[in-house]
Copies of this chain bind each other. A is one copy, B any other.
Amino acid sequence: MSYFKYHVFVCTNEREDGACCACLGAGNARAYLKKRCKELGIHGKNQVRINSAGCLDRCAQGPVMVIYPQETWYTYVDSEDLDEIISRHLLGGQIVERLKI
């Protein structure tokens, strides 16, 4: 069994040229995901873990996150996108195709 069912890594890297996930709100996105997962009672061992990560090397498609061990890559714009990732993927086990990269 996986230590975490969904291990989410949100790129929160900062680059000086402004073309970075952090510049596009990744810090807030990561905090929002963690807060919502805690509120929903799904943040912890055998469930969901929301982590920040350094540059995931997909800057041109940023802001990005990756969910392991399934390896699903997402981009997102706002909290509606994040809510959909939570409700459909982390709770429902389905891929959010429109946000997948």
Chain A residues in contact with chain B, CB under 8 A?
Answer: 2-3, 7, 9, 44-45, 49, 51-58, 66, 68-71, 73
Contact = CB atoms under 8 A, between A and B. Distances in A.
B45 A51 contact: no
Given A9-B9, A71-B69, A57 B49 contact: yes
Count of this chain's copies in the oligomeric assembly: 2
A49 B64 CA distance: 15
Given A9-B51, A44-B57, A68-B71, 20 more contacts: A2-B71, A3-B71, A3-B73, A7-B66, A7-B68, A9-B9, A9-B53, A45-B57, A49-B56, A51-B53, A51-B54, A51-B56, A52-B53, A52-B54, A53-B53, A68-B68, A68-B69, A69-B69, A69-B70, A69-B71
A82 to B, nearest CB: 17
Q: Is the interface of A mostly helix, strand, loop or mixed?
A: loop
